Amino acid sequence: MWRHSIKPRPRWRDKVVEQGLVFPMTDLPDGTERPYWNESAWYEVTMDEVLHLERVTEELYAMCRHAASVMASGDRFTDEQLGLASGTLPLVRESLKRDDLSVYARFDLAWSGAEPKMLEINGDTPTGLLESAVIQWNWLEDVFPDADQWNSVHDRLVKWWSERLAEGRFPGNEAHFFNSAAETTGEEAMTVAYLRDTAAMAGLATYGHELEDLGWESAQRAFVDWGGRRIRTAFKLYPWEDMLDDEFGRYVLAGVEREPVQWIEPIWKTMLSTKAILPVLWELYPNHPNLLPAYFGDPGDLLEWVAKPLHGREGSNIVIHTVADPEDHVHEGPYDTSTMVYQEWHPLPSYEGNRAVIGSWIVDGVAAGMMVRESDGPITDYYARFVPHAIGTSPRPDADTIQTWLNE
């Protein structure tokens, strides 16, 4: 992979906003701002590299599904150890047993050109979706109209809704979409609106709400929206670990719904959004070339490590310990640090001082594309920048070839 400087498109900021990106700039602590969408550079990858990343992504996802089953079964963990509300793990087991519908997830990979290393997976509330599926594709159309990009995210999302709709998996052929009003950057609302668009394109009737509008109708023993409409299928971009601690979470935990809501992502995805999956993967697949050694609760035999809270996001509350530095690098944040997962320190590759992490998307179990985020420091945090990519050596395939890939 190579990083190239390039002149941004005229009116790039207006363009990406018109295409749905609500925060083209990031506000910095000193009151200034800088681009979140950074098209002053682009990353070039080869088709062989893409094929390798695809294989790794799909293998890791299969391993994560196996790890989720192990985590939820037997005596491996308790709810308390995982920082989950009491009664969560039995629901996870039932969800896995039913093979509840699941649409997408994102791996974060450190990749220096050899074997990618899995840093983590967000299987419950991954963001960066609109930027990956739409904004960087439109950038490619403008800048390199004959080139290709590893990006079938949008097509695969529409395909997933369409196929499940044809199978009759959505009662009433409808779905509700929820984001939390407490998230004020617009990221959740933007991501949920995009997913709602993909469902509508597939033919579903859709309803968009803030999670705070969710209601409980005692007589029906059902969740309802603000208009009193019963909720049967719902996509939410809200972590399960928070949802089950909320007022209405007790109805889910108690199993009092007459006909439970079909939540997307399903509750078994809690196992794919906790860092506790990292040591479980290392136990199940020791010395796997795409995993890093990881331990639950202490660093074990690691000399250099990264400590991560179970439910942290945006790099918050991460601690980096290296031999060369006499002081640990501590990234403050709001998450519970009473239990930490320790993963071997694997620095991100630096491109002229830009530390790049690969976000590798999977939709319906199939590798679907990638995004690149850059940071100035060793942690990919809130201030990370999204940089587009292109496959530099391959022309864009024709429509028939693309359809063949989607049907595989």
DSSP letters, 132-201, are IIIIHHHHHHHH-TTEE-SB-HHHHHHHHHHHHHHTT-SGGGEEEEEE-TT--SSHHHHHHHHHHHHHHH
- Helix (H) or strand (E) holding 318, with range, is none
User: For residue range 39-65, what is the model confidence (pLDDT) as tens digits?
Assistant: 999 999 999 999 999 999 999 999 999
Measured distance CA(292)–CA(286) in Å, rounded: 9
- The answer, yes or no, to whether residue 196 has pLDDT greater than 80, is yes
CB 61 within 8 A of CB 360: no
Averaged pLDDT of the chain:
93
Measured distance CA(360)–CA(373) in Å, rounded: 11
Q: What's the pLDDT band for 153 if we cut at 50, 70, 90?
A: very high
User: For residue range 202-220, what is the model confidence (pLDDT) as tens digits?
Assistant: 999 999 999 888 999 999 9
Measured distance CA(26)–CA(37) in Å, rounded: 9
Q: What is the DSSP letter of 252?
A: H
Q: What is the pLDDT of residue 396?
A: 79
CB 340 within 8 A of CB 297: yes
Average pLDDT of the residues in 129-146: 96
CB atoms within 10 A of CB 195: 24
Angle among Cα 372, 375, 380 to the nearest 5 degrees reads: 80
Q: What is the pLDDT of residue 393?
A: 64
Average pLDDT of the residues in 272-285: 96
Within 8 A by CB and 6+ apart from 126, the residues are: 104, 105, 106, 361
- The answer, yes or no, to whether residue 221 has pLDDT greater than 80, is yes
Give counts: helices (H), strands (E), the chain: 11, 23
User: For residue range 7-49, what is the model confidence (pLDDT) as tens digits?
Assistant: 999 999 999 999 999 999 998 888 899 999 999 999 999 999 9
Q: What's the pLDDT band for 277 if we cut at 50, 70, 90?
A: very high
pTM comes to: 0.94
Burial 49-84 (b: 16+ CB within 10 A, else e): bbebbbebbeebbebbbebbbbbbeeebbebeebbb
- The answer, yes or no, to whether residue 394 has pLDDT greater than 80, is no
Query: Rounded to an integer, what is the distance from CA 256 to the centroid of its chain?
Result: 30
